[in-house]
Amino acid sequence: MMTATADYLARLEVALRDVPHGIAAEIRAGVAEELRSLEPDAAEARIAQLGDPAVIAREALDAGGYAPPAAPAAARPDTVVSPGSVPVARSRGFAIAAALTLSFGGYLVPVVGWFVGVALVLLSSMWRTWEKLVAILVPVVLFGGLMLFSFAAFTTTGAVEVHEASGTGTPPEVENPLVPDLLLAGPHFLIIIAVAVVIPLSGLWLLWRMRGRTPQEPFPRTVSRPLGEEAS
């Protein structure tokens, strides 16, 4: 009956409290959509088939967790991965601190704060290499690109001035010294604004990317490479 479904979902909710939020939410949603699609009798049968919520939760932890090869098999049945066993650089807390330092460290300690954030992000194992590179390099490339653009604007302005100065001797119609200043100050101001916006976004993007990941095994395992080597 509906009560059996509700009861099971409530027990599942409690059992999944130690499972990473994203995965727990997906399990709950997957089980709920299945049970609610069934007639009461069928739902009860399915509940029996699903089994103890505590077992589901433990398997979710095991499946998301990284089991080192040296881990004794005998310890497995009763072992639930505890957050305390995770090395610091692999923990979610470390990753969150790293991403926030990358985002806002530069505001606290200009320039140096950002480099500290970069170091912490590189140390964390919560992201893939390409994600770290995107978060770190996009602001750098943006900064470099805008600086180059600004430099190009400067040299163009200089060329015009020289051309005008070596003209026919008639004074230029408008020799406004403010023009180059505006051309230079404008881009520089824009560069600072752009970088000040993009750097926080880079850290927040990392936080978004790590949602639902477990500290023990942030990266999907692939067997294609070992298989390829073995096959040759």
Partner 1 sequence: MTADVGAQMRKGVVEYCVLGLLAREPMYGWQLADALTESGLIASIGTLYPLLGRLRDNGWVTTFDQPSDSGPVRRYYRLTDAGVAQLALFRTQWRPFALTVSRLVGEEAP
Scan for tokens 């477990």, then name that residue.
214
* 22 lies in the binding site for partner 1 (CB under 8 A): yes
* 30 lies in the binding site for partner 1 (CB under 8 A): yes
Please identify which residue in 82, 88, 171, 230 interacts with partner 1, judged by CB under 8 A. Answer: 230
Q: Which is nearer to partner 1, 46 or 157 (CB)?
A: 46
* 13 lies in the binding site for partner 1 (CB under 8 A): no
* 60 lies in the binding site for partner 1 (CB under 8 A): yes
* 36 lies in the binding site for partner 1 (CB under 8 A): yes
* 29 lies in the binding site for partner 1 (CB under 8 A): yes
Q: Tell the smallest beta-carbon distance from residue 207 to partner 1 (Å).
A: 15
* 37 lies in the binding site for partner 1 (CB under 8 A): yes
* 178 lies in the binding site for partner 1 (CB under 8 A): no
The binding site for partner 1 (CB under 8 A) comprises 22-23, 26-27, 29-34, 36-38, 50-51, 55-60, 62-64, 73, 212-214, 220-224, 227-228, 230-232
